Structure 1
Amino acid sequence: MNTLRAAAVTAAAVGMTIVPLTTTASAAGTAAPAPRTFLSASQLPASSTPWQADAVRRGLPADGSVCTAGIAPKAGSSHRDFRTELDTGARQTTTVAPSTAAAKALAAKLRASVEGCLDRLKEQYPSLEGEAFYHGRVDVEEGAHVYSIDTADPEAGSSDISLYSVGRDGRSVTVVEWGQLGDLDGAPVAGFKKTAGIAVAKLN
């Protein structure tokens, strides 16, 4: 089992998931063409156990992230899930918009959704505690913006850390999500920034 941690254990305890990436998510959608514009397993932040990459799938994942679900359109979107043997997972979702203006607007909506995610979660789950941080812009093409959401539920005894990046190159917008049990101190923020930059550089 692996999830952008999130899913199974914490979701059952807290009733929600910051970044739900289950191993069954890769079954959603049909296989996409060669994933040259997607991250490979070796381009994710270093982990104590090797990353494994599922096939790139057309459309949006069936179990979308609570922070970005409902923002990107299914048309023009593809996604790829990653997992390790431990409670760490990742996902990349890329959307090719009809125009550069549409892509710019989509990226802005995705960023706003991530920025407001923790507040929405606290409203929905009053016992939830957490902090959210903006970790800056990665200077690549039109940029990639990196965020972290660190949550804990004292009642459930759970703690999760998720990293997000939203980046754009022309008409293409890509979101990278990473998550595991723990807190921000144990998250590879520098490595994730590098991954976010690679994700945008590969778009075209």
Structure 2
Amino acid sequence: MSMRIRTSALTALAVAALAAGTVLTAPAAGAAPKAAPPTFLSASQLPPHPTSAWTAGPVTEGFPDGLGQCVDTEGVSSYDYRYREFRTDLDTSAVQLTVVADTAALAKALAKHYDDLIRTCADRIEKAYPDVEAEGRDYGSLPVEEGARVRGLHTESSGGASDISLLSVGRDGRTVTVVSWGQLGDFGDAPVGAFKKTTTTAVNKLY
């Protein structure tokens, strides 16, 4: 399944995501004062590409379309989203999202919500696209700050297009970060060890 198909899947999967986790909203009053914004990964901290260097885009306000395949803003749209996209000269891309919740408890629930969406993503893709086979894998948790978890997702269309993604959710206090890496290929092409290192760096680097 190509990146174009991933992006076009955003609308269909956004509806399905409501059933995957608890709707989370920020309190109307008593919110904590805003702290300094979290820091993002740099290009050199992404899993090394064998033939092409990573390029980092600017840190941007809003929610990235690149996460729409598995993660969206349904039920949590009241939060402030910031993201950075990364590219290589070949068909490999990555994105990091950060979300600052009003309390650590809300951030904990938000991290679980996002992880649940990623965990159930393969099933939702197959329901939305009968000509696509999808498989998810759990690569375990990481002992960084309040914790992180890494998962993998492989999709293959009836036409033979094969894509592999690695996704992680981590938390430091009130801040949640989601990191996604993807390219053409299957599970054998996924740099799981390097991506775990990237995820650990992403969470440690937030503050």
**TM-score clears 0.5:** yes
Q: How does 1:177-192 map to 2 (within 5 A)?
A: 177-192=180-195
Describe the superposition over 1:86-133 as per-residue Cα deviations: whole angstroms up to 9, x where unpaired. 000000000010010110010010000000110001111112113211
Secondary structure of the 1:105 match is helix
Q: CA deviation at 1:76?
A: 2.1
Q: What are the superposed Cα offsets for residues 167-191 of structure 1, whole Å, 9 maximum, x if unpaired? A: 0000000000000001010110100
Segments of 5+ residues of structure 1 without an aligned counterpart are 18-33
Q: CA deviation at 1:61?
A: 2.2
Contact 2:125-2:134 at 8 Å conserved across structures: no
Which of 141, 148, 161 does residue 144 from structure 1 map onto? 148
Runs (5+) with no aligned partner, structure 2: 11-35
3-state SS, counterpart of residue 94 of structure 2:
strand
| Residue aligning to 1:7 | 3
Larger radius of gyration: 2
Describe how 1:67-78 pairs up with structure 2 within 5 A.
67-71=70-74, 72-73=76-77, 75-78=79-82
Find out whether 1:83 has 2:110 as its counterpart: no
State yes or no: 1:42 paired with 2:38: no
Instruction: Quote the Cα distance in structure 1 between the aligned partners of 2:64 and 2:142.
Output: 26
* Residue equivalent to 1:128: 132
Would the alpha carbon gap of residues 74 and 176 (structure 1) be closer, same or farther in structure 2, given more than 3 Å must change?
A: farther
- Structure 1 residue ranges (4+ consecutive) displaced by more than 4 angstroms after TM superposition: none
Tell whether 2:159 aligns with 1:163. no
Q: Distance between the aligned counterparts of 2:167 and 2:67, measured in 1? A: 13
In structure 2, how many angstroms separate the alpha carbons of the residues matched to 1:45 and 1:35? 24
> What's the RMSD between the two structures over aligned residues?
2.2
SS at match of 1:68: coil
TM-score by length of 1: 0.82
Q: Write the letter of the residue equivalent to 1:108.
A: K
Match in the other structure for 2:33 = none
**Is the 1:6–1:180 contact (alpha carbons within 8 Å) kept by the matching residues of 2?**
no
Partner residue of 1:108 out of 108, 112, 126: 112
Does the CA contact (< 8 Å) of 1:45 and 1:191 recur in 2? yes
Question: CA–CA distance in 2 between the matches of 1:120 and 1:41?
Answer: 31
Q: Does the Cα contact within 8 Å between 1:54 and 1:80 map onto a contact in 2?
A: yes
Match of residue 175, structure 1, among 178, 183, 195: 178
Identity %: 47
Cα offset for 1:75? Answer: 3.2
